[in-house]
């Protein structure tokens, strides 16, 4: 039986495209996108993009041939590639959606900008400090290319409501944000665990491309499928779940890279070969005199996902809904307020596409992604070194 590499060879033959793409599109112009990374998240982004008006997918790239076959069912007209660089060679391509594991983000982000493509970069934007700096340099040289970081909360209706609540007279001085992210799964079904399929073989997976700059290893289908378990490719729940909660408030409050970060916790629940902890606490101390505290666990979902912003005059509570509660000691006559703004379907993707057409700054621009990436890497370094780490702003290094 032919391997899926033969299938891909038939799909993507010859040079990719010959039409020159313009970085400036009219308000009604069709945006031609490609997707790098056709796992669960990449597939979701592809569906979102195709559901937006005047958007066409003309290329898809993944190192696993089965994913390309499945994606072709969603976008039959798209060319399929095992090597994402072939996708970037298509001069008719306007933008790419990058949804690969974090250790590959910098390589693909830089290559996409150098190829003249607008970029939607899934979270967390950068895996290491060095990656973040490399991506920043590419962004600075990219001219008017749009970069949207995939922190979708930055396009939610909560942004409008929170902006209304974050008035000095309503909040007073804010000194703390308490946040948490908790999940649970049935017994015997570990969080993030995915089945390894028989066709995950060296013949159907471009293993070296998956590894990228990560340490070289012999082919391991479990590491490929369950990459979120391993430090070589993942920051665990920090890069997956802390990052979007940071991004929302970093954007609205203008918080800079924290001065000090401490992370504690461990593998308390899932003893299944994973390296990333399932139960943690992170404390981020900001020079704006604000402490951001975050807890996460995978063994109980009673607390769910929420943030509390604490000011001398009031508090903002953000979960599925957002509300303002006054501190009666300082605002005795004030009333509680509930958020009313709606979140439009596919709001973050639509914002990216609109930004391409208008060349306006998107809702989650590069700088927010940069600051969040550094904060997350500080948390991980604290955990590895079992101590509080500091940010040396002059040298731009974790110390």
Which pLDDT score, from 0 to 100, does residue 160 have? 97
Angle (CA) 148-33-156 rounded to 5° is 35
How many distinct structural domains can be found in the chain?
1
Where residue 187 falls among pLDDT bands split at 50, 70, 90?
A: very high
Residue 6 above 80 pLDDT? no
Phi and psi for 122 in degrees, rounded to 5?
A: -65, 160
The whole-chain average pLDDT of the chain stands at 93
In a domain, 286, yes or no: yes
In a domain, 188, yes or no: yes
User: Average of pLDDT values for 254-282?
Assistant: 97
pTM of the model: 0.92
- The CATH number for 179's domain is 3.30.360.10
Query: What does the pLDDT look like over 200-234, one tens digit per residue?
Result: 999 999 999 999 999 999 999 999 999 999 999 99
In a domain, 80, yes or no: no
In a domain, 134, yes or no: no
Rg over CA atoms, the chain = 22
* Cα–Cα distance list, 87 to 34, 84, 206, 273 (Å): 7, 5, 16, 35
In a domain, 76, yes or no: no
- Expressed as residue numbers, the domain containing 161 is 155-196+236-343+366-398
Query: What does the pLDDT look like over 331-357, one tens digit per residue?
Result: 999 999 999 999 999 999 999 999 999
Query: What does the pLDDT look like over 237-259, one tens digit per residue?
Result: 999 999 999 999 999 999 999 99
In a domain, 264, yes or no: yes
Query: What does the pLDDT look like over 128-151, one tens digit per residue?
Result: 999 999 999 999 999 999 999 999
In a domain, 326, yes or no: yes
In a domain, 36, yes or no: no
Three-state SS letters, the chain: CCCHHHHHHHHCCCCCCCCCCCCCCCCCCCEEEEEECCCHHHHHHHHHHHHCCCEEEEEEECCEHHHHHHHHHHCCCCEEECCHHHHHCCCCCCEEEECCCHHHHHHHHHHHHHCCCEEEECCCCCCCHHHHHHHHHHHHCCCCCCEEECCHHHHCHHHHHHHHHCCHHHHCCEEEEEEEEECCCCCCCCCCCCCCCCCCCCCCECHHHHHCCCCCCCCCHHHHHCHHHCCCCCCHHHHHHHHHHHHHHHHHHCCCCCCEEEEEEECCCCCCCCCCCCEEEEEEEECCCEEEEEEEECCCCCCCEEEEEEECCEEEEECCCEEEEECCCCCCCCCCEECCCCCCCCHHHHHHHHHHHHCCCCCCCHHHHHHHHHHHHHHHHHHHHCCCEEEECCCCEEC
Find out whether 294 and 180 touch, Cβ atoms under 8 Å.
yes
Find out whether 90 and 42 touch, Cβ atoms under 8 Å.
no
Phi and psi for 314 in degrees, rounded to 5?
A: 180, 175
Which pLDDT score, from 0 to 100, does residue 146 have? 98
Q: Residue 26: which residues within 8 A CB-CB, separation 6 or more? A: 357
Which pLDDT score, from 0 to 100, does residue 25 have? 58
């Amino acid at each position: 039986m032919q391997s899926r590499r033969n299938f891909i060879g038939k799909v993507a033959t010859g040079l990719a495209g010959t039409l020159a793409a313009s970085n400036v599109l009219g308000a009604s112009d069709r945006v031609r996108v490609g997707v790098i990374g056709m796992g669960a998240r990449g597939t979701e982004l592809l569906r979102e993009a195709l559901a937006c008006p005047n958007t066409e997918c003309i290329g898809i790239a993944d190192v696993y041939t089965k994913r390309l076959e499945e994606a072709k069912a969603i976008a039959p007209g798209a060319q399929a590639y095992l090597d994402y660089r072939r996708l970037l060679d298509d001069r008719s391509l306007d933008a790419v959606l990058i949804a690969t594991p974090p250790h590959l983000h910098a390589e693909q982000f830089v290559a996409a900008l150098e190829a003249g493509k607008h970029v939607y970069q899934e979270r967390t934007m950068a895996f290491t400090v060095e990656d973040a700096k490399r991506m920043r340099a590419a962004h600075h040289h990219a001219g008017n290319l749009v970069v949207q970081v995939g922190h979708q909360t930055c396009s939610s209706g909560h942004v409008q409501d929170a902006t209304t609540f974050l008035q000095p007279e309503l909040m007073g001085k804010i000194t703390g944000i308490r946040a948490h992210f908790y999940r649970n799964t049935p017994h015997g079904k570990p969080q993030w665990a995915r089945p390894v399929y028989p066709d995950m073989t060296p013949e159907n997976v471009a293993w070296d491309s998956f590894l990228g700059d990560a340490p070289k290893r012999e082919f391991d289908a479990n590491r490929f499928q369950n990459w979120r378990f391993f430090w070589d490719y993942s920051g665990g729940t920090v890069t997956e779940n802390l990052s979007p909660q940071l991004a929302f408030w970093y954007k609205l409050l203008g918080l800079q890279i924290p001065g000090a970060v401490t992370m504690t916790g461990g593998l308390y629940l899932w003893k299944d070969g994973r390296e990333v902890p399932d139960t943690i606490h992170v404390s981020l101390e900001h020079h704006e005199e604000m402490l951001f505290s975050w807890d996460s666990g995978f063994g109980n979902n009673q607390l769910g996902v929420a943030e509390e912003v604490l000011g001398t005059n009031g508090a903002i509570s953000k979960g599925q809904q957002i509300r303002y509660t006054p501190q009666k000691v300082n605002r005795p006559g004030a009333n509680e307020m509930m958020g009313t703004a709606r979140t439009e379907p596919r709001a973050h993707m639509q914002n990216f596409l609109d930004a391409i057409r208008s060349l306006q700054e998107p809702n989650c621009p590069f700088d927010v992604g940069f600051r969040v990436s550094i904060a997350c890497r500080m948390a991980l370094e604290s955990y590895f070194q079992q101590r509080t780490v500091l940010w040396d702003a002059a040298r731009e290094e974790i110390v």
